Structure 1
Amino acid sequence: MTGLLADLAIGAAILALAAGMVAARSAFTATAFFIAYGLLLGLAWVRLGAVDIALTEAAIGAGLSGVLLLTAAARLAARPVATERAPGPLLTALIALCCAAVAVAIGAAILSLPEPTPSLAAEVAANLPATALGNPVAGVLMSYRALDTLLESAVVVLAVVGVWSLTPPGGWGGFPGPFHLRVESGPLALLARLLPPIGIVIALHILWVGKDAPGGKFQAAAILAAMWLLAWMAGLATPPRIASRRLRFAVSAGAGLFLAIGVAGALAEGAFLAYPAGWTKALVLAVEFALTASIAVALALLVMGPPEEEDRA
């Protein structure tokens, strides 16, 4: 009974935060609701036993995405607001009707699923030992859904390219994001010096145990990116120029290695992203480590934004 009441409270809070996010008048308020919404979603996933998804939701869905939205809200607030015509009541009602129709359609699709729901879980579980990975989520993502994982890593690279394409005239090739003066005292200075070593150790632990327990590359990359951003905001770390070949290699190396292993699998085993027998775990770990570094750099660069000036003192 206690568990049911807790689940009902979490569900009600999620719906309330979602409504507050939609009804918020300012971008900052909506972002604050979004971060709280993501954290509660992570708690909901824990209640459902999906710890891997909960970690991803908390680290990326709420944490890093929240920072990205807060940065965007701050930049929007610093710019003059263009006079735009607000949607009228008819358009507002139409939007609400369309959203309600989508929600009803999704609910109807879920409720109409047959019992028991068709699943390949038994077949997947029977063949997972061939991957030598103890974490079934890692095994599925890097074997049965390897193409999805490859495309997700490619999307992150393309997102960085998209952000860099917003560089103003005269700023191309410069340092990403605004320049931060070095902070010598205060909470930010303390946290920027204290947390990164701890965060790096935690990220490496989450990455390493991800092969056998909840964790993995995306969660570890989000933590590493957050540590770099913390040092960057305190003026303790200056990112390389976007013209740096090493920086571009760091962003694309993970996806590039994953693609190369996929092509090698096609040549050796006759199927794209097929792993040679006995080499599955070693190749998966190589891709996981490379993707962690690349995704961490890419996520940090997305938050930093495009270059704003050509040179810095």
Structure 2
Amino acid sequence: MTFAFDLILCLMILGTAAIALFVRDALAAIAFFIAFGNLMGLAWLGLDAVNVALAEIAIGAGVTGVLLILARARLLALGDAATSTGSPLLLRLGALAACAGFVVLLAAAVLSIPPESGLDRVVAPLMPGLGIENRVTGVLLAFRAYDTLLESFVLLGALVAVWSLAPAGAWPGRPADPGMTDAPMRRVAGTFGQLLLPVALVMAAYLVWAGSDLPGGAFQAGTVLAGGLLVAAMGGTIGLPSSDRPLLRAALVLGPAVFLAIGLAGIAAGGLLVYPEGMAKALIVIIEYALFLSIGVTLALLVAGPPVPGASDPNPEGKG
């Protein structure tokens, strides 16, 4: 990128962040927060950190943006004006000092790392044995696979914790309907959701497949799928199922279960999460496809929240 483009991008990032922090209207703050996430994704692309850019755009601008929109809608339904009344000057100055101190500490930590201390020289020679080229995938699914395995269970545990907040009599029901209350907006979201959900599914499947050799992977694919599901639900294209549906629960545990099963089977090849020679790539792709489905469904349900009383199941007789 040219210096002029980098400078303009930095100014736009700082500007959208400042507006998102200080504007009083919640909807305007959310809009600028989503714009900030997309601009940060461009910045990561400029640094050749494509995996981070995908995660930033999908999570920071996508799933988190939908979460904030739904939170605003529920606040309005409870009678909250969803506008900022301002904060005391002393509190603002304290927050500014804390953020500035964190930036200084972070910059000092990053600048203290010698360029030659990177892990690339350690990871690169090991990649041919896996049969894949994406070193991020290699680290996450092979060299530090136990971290990723635990993270998949942590995500599932977070959903269980959210479900535990369901009020008495609501379990095992459905989350609150995330659909737009304004009829024109609901029609727009519904039409967009009908187009977006199939595209999100295809794009997510591609990100998993490409993730072995190119930027991508299960987490990025899962966030894309979650975004498609949430937008479709906001437009009424799909309905969120009740928490006791067998297919729903199967989708939630599929990724961690497949990952754990392959990891335990690796004991016969030399240890936990050790892949048999010549089978590493095939097993990694199987794990990633199972994980992407579980991550997408789990993230969508985390954003939707716990079951609420009175939310009817769109298919009460179905078991899927």
Local SS of the residue matching 2:132: coil
Letter in 2 for 1:268: A
Q: 1:98 to 1:260 in 2, by over 3 A?
A: same
Would the aligned equivalents of 2:191 and 2:235 in 1 still touch at CA under 8 Å? no
Would the aligned equivalents of 1:255 and 1:291 in 2 still touch at CA under 8 Å? yes
Are residue 260 (structure 1) and residue 256 (structure 2) matched?
Answer: no
Q: 1:70 to 1:171 in 2, by over 3 A?
A: same
Separation (CA, whole Å) in 2 of partners of 1:107 and 1:193: 44
Local SS of the residue matching 2:2: helix
Deviates more, 1:148-157 or 1:55-64: 148-157
Q: 1:161 to 1:28 in 2, by over 3 A?
A: farther
Would the aligned equivalents of 2:13 and 2:40 in 1 still touch at CA under 8 Å? yes
Would the aligned equivalents of 1:178 and 1:307 in 2 still touch at CA under 8 Å? no
Are residue 122 (structure 1) and residue 113 (structure 2) matched?
Answer: no
Q: 1:223 to 1:86 in 2, by over 3 A?
A: closer
Local SS of the residue matching 2:284: helix
Separation (CA, whole Å) in 1 of partners of 2:264 and 2:102: 39
Local SS of the residue matching 2:113: coil
The C-alpha deviation readout for 1:159-212, integer Å capped at 9, x for no partner, is: 212221222222110122327599899433432333333332222222212212
Deviation at 1:27, TM superposition (A): 3.5
Q: Percent identity?
A: 44
Q: 1:249 to 1:91 in 2, by over 3 A?
A: same
Local SS of the residue matching 1:94: helix
Letter in 2 for 1:10: L
Cross-structure match for 1:242? 243
Separation (CA, whole Å) in 2 of partners of 1:234 and 1:100: 41
Would the aligned equivalents of 1:68 and 1:302 in 2 still touch at CA under 8 Å? no
Deviation at 1:270, TM superposition (A): 4.3
The C-alpha deviation readout for 1:47-84, integer Å capped at 9, x for no partner, is: 111222212211122111111122112212332459xx
Deviation at 1:41, TM superposition (A): 0.9
Q: 1:189 to 1:103 in 2, by over 3 A?
A: closer
Q: 1:92 to 1:231 in 2, by over 3 A?
A: closer
Would the aligned equivalents of 2:178 and 2:304 in 1 still touch at CA under 8 Å? no
Local SS of the residue matching 1:166: coil
Deviates more, 1:28-37 or 1:56-65: 28-37
Cross-structure match for 1:171? 170
Local SS of the residue matching 1:170: coil
Deviation at 1:123, TM superposition (A): 2.0
Are residue 289 (structure 1) and residue 286 (structure 2) matched?
Answer: no
The C-alpha deviation readout for 1:234-273, integer Å capped at 9, x for no partner, is: 33322321022332221122112212322333x2244332
Letter in 1 for 2:238: A
What is the RMSD computed on CA atoms of the aligned residues?
Answer: 2.8
Query: 1:84-163 to 2 correspondence within 5 Å?
Result: 88-114=88-114, 116-163=115-162
Separation (CA, whole Å) in 2 of partners of 1:79 and 1:15: 33
Equivalent residue pairs, number: 309
Would the aligned equivalents of 1:173 and 1:310 in 2 still touch at CA under 8 Å? no
Deviation at 1:304, TM superposition (A): 2.0
Separation (CA, whole Å) in 2 of partners of 1:311 and 1:119: 52
Separation (CA, whole Å) in 1 of partners of 2:180 and 2:88: 45
Cross-structure match for 2:9? 10
Cross-structure match for 1:48? 47
Deviates more, 1:291-300 or 1:29-38: 29-38
Separation (CA, whole Å) in 2 of partners of 1:239 and 1:70: 17
Cross-structure match for 2:227? 226
Report the TM-score when normalising by structure 1.
0.87
Separation (CA, whole Å) in 2 of partners of 1:145 and 1:280: 14
Separation (CA, whole Å) in 1 of partners of 2:180 and 2:34: 27
Q: 1:276 to 1:232 in 2, by over 3 A?
A: same
Local SS of the residue matching 1:239: coil
Would the aligned equivalents of 1:176 and 1:304 in 2 still touch at CA under 8 Å? yes
Give ranges in structure 1 of 5+ residues lacking alignment: none
